[in-house]
A and B are shown apart, each in its own frame.
Chain A
Amino acid sequence: MSRVLVGVKRVIDYAVKIRVKPDKSGVVTDGVKHSMNPFDEIAIEEAVRLKEKKLASEVIAVSCGPAQSQETLRTALAMGADRAIHVEVGASEFNTMQPIHVSKILAKLAQDEKADIVIVGKQAIDDDSNQTAQMTAAMLDWPQGTFASKVEKTDAGLTVTREIDGGLETIKTKLPAVISADLRLNEPRYATLPNIMKAKKKPLKKVTAKDLGVDLTPRIKVVSVEDPPVRQAGSIIPDVDTLVAKLKEGGHI
């Protein structure tokens, strides 16, 4: 029976049209709807399914961030995680926190909690880094099953189907291992009201990065955050003939 550690991040909701701050220091997050990173919902779902199949003994959800990250952890608990660890990071430190810091925290917790499988989403939809799983695996010297669309537990380890550029590939990893979830891994469940109520009573431990011996010194300096160039407005054309003419004009045919 494995113990599963799942990393979850609180991000601006995927449907929100973000706004860049006028001083170019970042994007506006105050008063903006946040929710769990969609890939992390998939990671939690996969961990809970492993538990339901009696392949995992315990699911531990971890989030690094300011106080509001606890809401995200409660969501994970409502989806079926057994307990949660909140790694408290102040708002200003959180701004410069990067996957390298998070992966050091996850690696330390994976060892402390004696986890056999670490599952995270393949990328957070805010920084779009796609690094945390790979870096956590490296810190631990564990194998990595990135961009997983299917995970099967076998006696010796895991069989992971990965989404790669030309199609799919299948690898076999030893345990312990780190997995990153792609969109197609599963369909995350909704937390029901009774489960949300129950989640309030589940244990949530608070620690700091310092407790875990992880240094959060920034590795990058944000020079600017700006709006992307705006495309010039196009035109609505009346029929296919006009489209053919326009394509000819543009040298496309």
Chain B
Amino acid sequence: MVASMLRSSTADINFTCKLCAAAVSLLLGRIGRWSGREIACSALSLARSALAERDNESCFFLRRLQSTLVIAEHNNEVLLPVTQNTLSAAKKIGGDVSVLIAGTKCTPAAEAISKAGGVSKVLVAESDVFKGFTAETLTPLILASQKQFKFTHILAPATAFGKSVLPRVAAKLDVSPITDIIGIKDANTFVRTIYAGNAILTLEAKDPVKVITVRGTAFPPLPLEGGSAATEKAPEGDFKTDLVEWLSQELSKSDRPELTSAKAIVSGGRGLKSGDNFKLLYDLADKLNAAVGASRAAVDAGFVPNDLQIGQTGKIVAPDLYIAVGISGAIQHLAGMKDSKTIVAINKDPEAPIFQVADYGLVADLFKAVPELTSKL
């Protein structure tokens, strides 16, 4: 890190020299008694000392002040893969990386994450209080950790969990959170999408603590190997709340890969005409070891449950292969899938906007083409 800073500052000096030379040639005409060489030298030394000062500051900043807390997402059984993507983002910011794991049963996630390279500390808060991972109980825990360790960045995955908890934390810290980042320029400058992915916003955060949710598909997963982070107890406190009580969960059961981390996705829209017809997609998905997704139209029509929705208001995916079947390709749907590596569209309407983003478009009746594709794989 320091080495790369030095390299960049050498480039800066060269650039400064050119500027100085230009300034000098201007000055020479006016002030005859100074030799150009002297001015150039003094200007250069000034520039050097300024740079040295800045470097010292940056090094100090990086070494001593920069520290990131990642809020791990797990389900009391396993660490969710999106946490690994968030760790990559944390490492990109630089400095120290700590992880906070809270839940009713933290051991499996804590063990997994302590093996991740570059994690310096794993804070564990295991208590029945955190049942359901409610924002009302996690927020005071995160605030207590922040108070003790003074992190400069607090990160969580931009999932339903992260999006629900982190803005609450940010408000308590009186800072403006940054949602769903897709890039990190430096410790204060981040990239995110706005208007359903149709514009890319680069912003500089002015708040002292940066509270950020990370788009998993924009960062590679950090391997859970090569590290041996110390595990310690998270700050204790009274995190019990009577504001909210978690009652129950109804999770859609599936043997297929999880949507947001699947390598291949087969997705259906209104063109499927009924929930029963989704079986065509399940058969195809099984051949490809793919997850199954859906457009909002298919969800609203009741063909499949809501948690399969891909788009601006559903999940954001970026698999190697995305096969859109009977999906027209509305702006809101494209927002969730247009970063996929290869997009295939099967639609009988040649004018469908999905063909404008598809690498391979097949204008055909899905009820013929999909079974044929399945049988030929």
Contacts and interface: CB of A to CB of B under 8 A. Distances in A.
Nearest to A228: B200
B203 A135 contact: no
Nearest to A129: B179
B206 A221 contact: yes
Contact of B243 (A12, A142, A162, A234): A142
Contact of B247 (A18, A137, A171, A247): A171
Contacts of B312: 125, 128
A144 B199 contact: no
A14 B332 contact: yes
A112 interface: no
A98 B357 CA distance: 32
A17 B353 CA distance: 12
Contact of A128 (B195, B202, B359, B362): B195
B244 A174 contact: yes
A226 interface: yes
Interface string B243-276: 1111111111000000010001000000000000
B40 interface: no
Interface string A106-135: 000000000000000011011111111011
Contact of B199 (A139, A159, A172, A225): A225
Contacts of A144: 135-136, 164, 168, 244
Given A125-B195, A128-B312, A171-B132, A164 B307 contact: yes
A142 to B, nearest CB: 7
Interface in A161-175: 162-174
A207 interface: no
B177 A165 contact: no
A231 interface: yes
Interface string A233-247: 111110111011011
A228 B343 contact: no
Nearest to B376: A244
Contacts of A183: 296, 300, 313
Interface string B163-177: 111111111101111
A69 interface: no
B195 A252 contact: no
Contacts of A167: 249-252, 305, 307
Contact of A225 (B200, B249, B320, B372): B200
A75 interface: no
Contact of A171 (B167, B246, B343): B246
B16 interface: no
B237 to A, nearest CB: 16
A220 interface: yes
A93 interface: no
A220 B247 contact: no
Nearest to B189: A223
B106 interface: no
Contact of A138 (B168, B198, B202, B244): B168
Contacts of A241: 376
Contacts of B175: 100, 219
**B-side interface mostly:** mixed
A129 B243 CA distance: 25
A168 B160 contact: no
A74 to B, nearest CB: 25
A142 B243 CA distance: 7
Contacts of A247: 321, 344, 377
Given A128-B312, A144-B164, A228-B197, A252 B264 contact: yes
Main secondary structure of the interface of A (DSSP, over half): mixed
A252 B323 CA distance: 11
A99 interface: yes
A224 B205 CA distance: 13
Interface in A197-253: 218-228, 231-237, 239-241, 243-244, 246-247, 250, 252-253
B165 to A, nearest CB: 8
B242 interface: yes
A244 B159 contact: no
B170 A100 contact: yes
B194 interface: yes
B321 A252 contact: yes
B361 A237 contact: yes
Nearest to B287: A253
Given A169-B249, A219-B206, A240-B369, A143 B244 contact: yes
Contact of B206 (A218, A225, A239, A243): A218
A189 interface: no
Contacts of B195: 12, 18, 27, 125-126, 128
20 contacts: A12-B195, A100-B177, A126-B195, A134-B135, A137-B168, A138-B172, A139-B171, A143-B136, A143-B241, A146-B135, A146-B163, A147-B160, A163-B160, A166-B251, A182-B313, A220-B176, A233-B356, A236-B355, A241-B376, A250-B342
Interface of B: 132, 134-136, 139, 159-161, 163-172, 174-180, 185, 189, 193-207, 241-252, 260, 264, 288, 296, 299-300, 305-307, 312-313, 315, 320-321, 331-332, 338, 342-344, 350, 355-364, 369, 372-373, 376-377
Given A218-B206, A220-B206, A225-B201, 8 more contacts: A127-B194, A163-B307, A164-B249, A171-B244, A174-B242, A221-B206, A240-B372, A250-B321
- Top 10 A-B pairs, shortest CB-CB distance: A138-B171, A134-B167, A219-B176, A143-B243, A135-B171, A234-B359, A131-B167, A223-B202, A167-B251, A166-B251
